[in-house]
Amino acid sequence: MKSKQSGVTLIGFLFIMAIVGFFAFMGMKLFPSYSEYMGVVKAMNQVATEGTNGKSLDEIRRGLMFKMNFQYVDDATIKPANITIKRDAGGANQLQVAYDKQIPFMYNIDFLLHFNKSVPLQGNVEQ
C-alpha cells in the first residue's frame, strides 16, 4: 500500500512567500501615511474640543499646525490651504482637512492617497 504525501512543495512555498512578501512590502509603504493621518485626526479633535470662540481661521490653522507637530505630522504633508472651515446647513462650523499624499511604490508605480476629515467646532469663528 502506497502512502500519499501531502503538503506544499518548495516551488509552491516560494510562490506563497512571494505573494506574502509583496503585500508586506505594500503595507510597510502605506502604514506611515495612515499613522500620520491618525495624528491629524487626533490634533483636529483636540482643536475642536478646545472651543473656537472669537478665533480667526488663521489662529485655528496655527493651533492645528502646532498640535500636528506633536503628532509627528510632516509639515510638507499638510499646507495651511488644506485646512478650511465650512458652515453646514444648520449654521454650525466644521473644521475640514483634505489633502493628497503620493507614495512611491516601485519602479513607476505610485500610490495616491486622498485623506478628508471634518470635525464639528464648538463656538463661533470670526470670518
58/17 Cα distance (integer angstroms): 51
Region 111-126 average pLDDT: 84
Mean pLDDT, the chain, integer: 87
Q: Which residues contact 107 (CB under 8 A, 6 or more apart)?
A: none
24-76 per-position pLDDT tens digit: 999 999 999 999 999 999 999 988 888 777 778 888 888 888 888 888 888 78
pLDDT at 125: 67
- Angle 102-103-104 from CA coordinates, rounded to 5°: 120
